[in-house]
Amino acid sequence: MTHPSDTGPAPVLALRDVSKSFGAVRALRDVRLELLPGEVHALAGENGAGKSTLIKTLAGVHRPDAGQVLLDGVPVVFQGPGDARDAGIAVIYQEPTLFPDLSVAENIFTGRQPRRSLGRVDHRAARAATAALMERLGVDLDPERPARGLSIADQQIVEIAKALSFDARVLVMDEPTAALTGGEVARLFGVVRALRDQGAAVLFVSHRLEEIFRVCTRVTTLRDGALIAAEPLAGMTEDDLVRRMVGRDLAELYPKREITPGEVALSVRRLTREGVFTDVSFEVRRGEIVALAGLVGAGRTEVARSVFGVDRRDAGSVEVDGRALPHGSPSAAMAAGLALVPEDRRAQGLVMSLSVERNIGLTGLRATVRAGLMDRGAERDRALDWAMRLQVKYARIADAVSTLSGGNQQKVVLAKWLATGPKVLIVDEPTRGIDVGTKAEVHRLLGELAADGVAVLMVSSDLPEVLGMADRVLVMHEGRLTADIPRADATEETVMAAATGRAAA
């Protein structure tokens, strides 16, 4: 294998034959990586391939069991994330980790607030610096706004701004665009290219292959913890990259079955929440996959949460099989056969400190109670059954769900709700942040559920997913339903026209 450093500039940061194990699981095996100045380098691989472990090794969270980390060609040992940060390495993780009760500016400058001459925190300087970072990103976000209540997109922007505030020589971006709109992605890519032009080395991790080809020049691909290839992207196709990632041809990413919809399972009439969404009406039939599309902030997630009863509604009705659901009662929704897989799986879908087994069992506690006591054997059998059906990868069913990769965490959330045998399944961004192989598995699963008569309402920002999986596409714009498009008429143009307010229902 030829390395760029043999003929070009020396790498800023490199891994040499790095291995890392967690118990019996070998997360990395003799992996090599070189990040060059002035280059955007992609890291590709399925969930569980070792990408997160590699990133945490660069960030000083993990120390290699074998091999070396080299900074400017000199071996270094990071005792912790602080050492890596001091060395000029900034990491933006896939899931935002903000302090909810601090402001945007306070989150960005936590632990390193600008000081006045007497040592007091200079809040004005922090706000001004934050405003400058937001202007650089092209985002209008108030530095004094509390982090609590920020959307996933805005949380990600704060994390990106925090990383940029370090003026890092190496910027590691782990799924930075997963929750961003097209305009925000374009602005981010402009920032990435500016950093590249200023000589920074950028490691870009994304499951959106089109983004890798759009912004990167080289790619390192991992599979099962091992290095498969490190090569230029020039001349490669998405199919080539998928083949390296999954070890096989990905024949069908959107395995949509043709169905004949049955009776109406979910009926929503004139649903309104003041200031959020207005007069939303739609139906989902048995066996039908209906996508709820639109730009970030259009109100899609809020509608889904209101239908399930998590958020209040000011007007309107929700019926399952013709029976009206009471306001604000998720337990009543579950009893009626509704299930909700939320967008933010870590904060809303899982209890990260509990085991895989207990997380899957949370929705079936009543079913595993015998004479007032938990039947742990029944709980385990139920969890093992669903983990096997969804092909969840884990070391032990008793391990904390926090030890799993993002894609496998998503499968655990799905397993938890599918175990309830729902009549109506609401999935919010079902494939956000997961790899192409797992994405195909989730799509196959949704197709099978629909074929079995489950009504599926899928909230998604992934337009190819919407077009590939939906029987009908409902489009929202600024809190209103602007279009109901049948599959035969759904195109990127028709959906985006409705999402931007250029088409009326």
Q: Name the residue among 294, 295, 290 with its Cα closest to residue 264.
A: 290
Pull the structure tokens for residue 111: 């632990």
CATH number at residue 39: 3.40.50.300
Cβ-based burial of 326 (10 A; exposed 0-12, middle 13-18, buried ≥19) = exposed
**Highest averaged pLDDT of the listed ranges 130-134, 397-401, 406-410:** 130-134
Q: What is the pLDDT of residue 1?
A: 43
Candidate from 180-184, 259-263, 458-462, 484-488 with smallest mean pLDDT: 180-184
**Contacts with 154 (C-beta within 8 Å, 6 or more apart), sequence order:** 141
In the block, residue with structure tokens 């669903």: 386
Q: Is residue 429 part of a domain?
A: yes
Assess whether 294 and 383 both reside in one domain: yes
* pLDDT exceeds 70 at position 59: yes
Share of the chain above pLDDT 70, in %: 91
Q: Is residue 257 part of a domain?
A: no
Q: What is the pLDDT of residue 5?
A: 47
Assess whether 317 and 444 both reside in one domain: yes
Assess whether 140 and 185 both reside in one domain: no
Cα three-residue angle 438-439-441, rounded to 5 degrees: 60
Q: Give the separation between CA 289 and CA 426, rounded to whole angstroms.
A: 10
Spatial contact of 402 and 44, defined as CB atoms under 8 Å apart? no
Strand 89-92 and strand 170-174: the pairing is parallel
Higher pLDDT, 304 or 179: 304
Assess whether 35 and 157 both reside in one domain: yes
The confidence band for 20, taking pLDDT boundaries of 50, 70 and 90, is very high
Per-residue pLDDT, averaged over 62-89, amounts to 94
Assess whether 123 and 176 both reside in one domain: no
Q: Is residue 255 part of a domain?
A: no
In terms of DSSP H, where are the helices of 36-140?
51-58, 81-86, 104-108, 123-137
Cβ-based burial of 184 (10 A; exposed 0-12, middle 13-18, buried ≥19) = buried
Answer with the one of 116, 149, 182 that is the final residue of a domain: 149
Assess whether 61 and 206 both reside in one domain: yes
Assess whether 281 and 342 both reside in one domain: yes
Q: Give the separation between CA 150 and CA 220, rounded to whole angstroms.
A: 33
Spatial contact of 242 and 209, defined as CB atoms under 8 Å apart? yes
Per-residue pLDDT, averaged over 239-262, amounts to 77
The tens digit of pLDDT for each residue in 339-392 reads 998 877 666 778 888 888 888 877 765 555 555 566 677 778 878 888 888 778
The tens digit of pLDDT for each residue in 322-343 reads 999 998 899 899 999 999 988 7
Candidate from 156-170, 314-328, 478-492 with smallest mean pLDDT: 156-170
Assess whether 212 and 335 both reside in one domain: no
Q: Is residue 231 part of a domain?
A: yes
Half-sphere exposure of residue 256: CA atoms within 13 angstroms, side-chain side: 18
Answer with the one of 133, 149, 165 that is the final residue of a domain: 149
Candidate from 136-140, 300-304, 344-348 with smallest mean pLDDT: 344-348
- The number of folded domains in the chain is 3
Q: Is residue 342 part of a domain?
A: yes
Candidate from 86-95, 210-219, 344-353 with smallest mean pLDDT: 344-353
Assess whether 16 and 37 both reside in one domain: yes
Q: Is residue 391 part of a domain?
A: yes
The confidence band for 276, taking pLDDT boundaries of 50, 70 and 90, is very high
Assess whether 300 and 349 both reside in one domain: yes
Mean pLDDT computed over every residue of the chain: 86
Cβ-based burial of 266 (10 A; exposed 0-12, middle 13-18, buried ≥19) = buried
Q: Give the separation between CA 296 and CA 294, rounded to whole angstroms.
A: 7
In terms of DSSP H, where are the helices of 76-208?
81-86, 104-108, 123-137, 152-164, 182-197
Q: Which domain holds residue 230?
A: 4-98+152-246
The tens digit of pLDDT for each residue in 142-165 reads 999 999 988 777 887 888 788 878
Q: What is the pLDDT of residue 249?
A: 55
Answer with the one of 149, 173, 189 that is the final residue of a domain: 149
Assess whether 273 and 390 both reside in one domain: yes
Assess whether 60 and 89 both reside in one domain: yes
Q: Give the separation between CA 220 and CA 62, rounded to whole angstroms.
A: 20
Q: Is residue 251 part of a domain?
A: no
Q: Give the separation between CA 60 and CA 56, rounded to whole angstroms.
A: 6
Q: Where are the beta strands (DSSP E) in 314-368?
A: 315-320, 323-324, 338-341
Q: Is residue 427 part of a domain?
A: yes
